[in-house]
Structure 1
Amino acid sequence: MNPLRMAPNLLTFLRICLAPVLIFAVIERRFAEAFALFMVAACTDLIDGLLARWLHQRTLIGQYLDPIADKLMLSSLFLVLTLMGIMDPRVTVLVFGRDFGMLLTALILYVTIKLRDFHPSLLGKANSLCQVAAVGAVLLSQFDQQSWVLYTRTVMLDATIWLTVLSGFHYGWVASRRIGLIVDSTSGSGSGTNTSNR
């Protein structure tokens, strides 16, 4: 197998391996190192996505591992930074609440009607981007107190709050619409079958 074709998944594995090292650096308050590691992880996320599209290597394992790697790193950072008194707890509660709600909804839909192909929305992608920018700005502000850094931190955290709420409601709306379509199509096929049997 061409090693280049394995590169997207290898980068995803690298991001997963970086997560505990990054968390340890934050706990040890080595914020400059933590920020550098976070930027490396963010770059691997960008590069593996571009490589997967360029090489047409969107594997099943990659589709599962990529969001897991992102959530593992971001959720861990939100939690650790909050426990250390650095991150606003309200942001973390909203982020975890949205993710838990989406996970629970997806699980219920899969168990009940086998619905599982939820694609990320534009709002969801914007929310993920804001979360990355917010965590990066928070880490940077721990060793760089320039006004633009503090301003960026405030803006990104506020944007994360709003986009977390909006994307959560949007996810619920999309899920309810898809359930309605499935129910309507099932009812329609059922009535058609009954009519044909008369």
Structure 2
Amino acid sequence: MNIVYKILPNIITLSRILLTYVFLLLQNKQYHDIKNRETFLCLSIVFLCICITDLIDGKIARFLNSKSFIGSLLDVAADAAFIFSSFIFLNIHGIIPFWFTIVILSKFVEFIITSYVWKKLNNKTSELFISDPIGKLTAVLFYIIPGIVGILFYKFQNNLLLATNTLIFIATTLSVISSCIRCSNCFKHFKRIP
């Protein structure tokens, strides 16, 4: 039973990658058959499952005392797989501008680099990745935009452009603010090194 506790969070995380594939299939089906209620409901349920697995895998790992380096890597990989594949799909179909996917990629690379630098300079944390409050909010927006677009695409096509542009503007602004704060903190630490 102990091994189950150790791997349960990772199984939940890995299920998110499978759910991402299903989400993309449903997203594609919905794109080609906009008014299909069944596809819309399935897409909504799969998106909800993706969000729930993202919320609970880390909490379960902490509760079961089974946090691991591999688990942290899998979590970030599953998040990246969902976010990037969803946005590439939305780029290909002209729903989201390509430059926004570049913003997401830039934020992801910055997050990895600044987490590494903070960890090396501080030596205070056992966490693989170090997040900040604005960065967390930005990541949530990156995560929910594909689901919101799927819902709007089915229900409110007339408002799709306005809603997606508003979300993109907010997410880009928060991303820039978070990156500036994180990079500034790294530079401050570098200045303190003799």
1:160-194 deviations in Å (ceiling 9; x for gaps): 1111111222221122223333x32xxxxxxxxxx
**Which of 80, 91, 105 matches 1:82?**
91
SS in 1 for 2:140: helix
Structure 1 residues 164 and 56, CA gap change in structure 2 (3 angstroms): same
**Which of 161, 164, 187 matches 1:176?**
187
Question: How many Å separate the matches in 1 of 2:160 and 2:63?
Answer: 34
Question: How many Å separate the matches in 2 of 1:146 and 1:89?
Answer: 20
Contact kept? 1:134, 1:160, Cα under 8 Å: no
Structure 1 residues 149 and 57, CA gap change in structure 2 (3 angstroms): farther
Question: How many Å separate the matches in 1 of 2:113 and 2:7?
Answer: 32
| Offset, 1:93 | 2.5
- Is residue 161 of structure 2 the alignment partner of residue 160 of structure 1? no
Amino acid at match of 2:167: M
- Is residue 58 of structure 2 the alignment partner of residue 58 of structure 1? no
Question: How many Å separate the matches in 2 of 1:10 and 1:141?
Answer: 31
> Which residue of structure 2 lines up, in the alignment, with residue 194 of structure 1?
none
SS in 2 for 1:58: coil
Contact kept? 2:96, 2:164, Cα under 8 Å: no
| Offset, 1:13 | 0.9
Question: How many Å separate the matches in 2 of 1:29 and 1:147?
Answer: 16
| Offset, 1:91 | 2.2
Aligned length: 181
> Which residue of structure 2 lines up, in the alignment, with residue 40 of structure 1?
49
Bigger Rg over Cα = 1
- In structure 1, the gaps of 5 or more residues are 185-198
- In structure 2, the gaps of 5 or more residues are 32-38
TM-score (norm 1): 0.75
TM-score (norm 2): 0.76
Structure 1 residues 117 and 59, CA gap change in structure 2 (3 angstroms): closer
| Offset, 1:156 | 3.0
Any residues of structure 2 matched to 1:1-198 within 5 Å, and which?
1-2=1-2, 3-29=4-30, 32=40, 33-103=42-112, 118-145=129-156, 153-181=164-192, 183-184=193-194
Q: CA RMSD in A?
A: 3.1
Identity %: 23
1:77-136 deviations in Å (ceiling 9; x for gaps): 1111011111133422211232234446678x59x99x8955111111111111122222
Amino acid at match of 1:136: G
SS in 2 for 1:28: helix
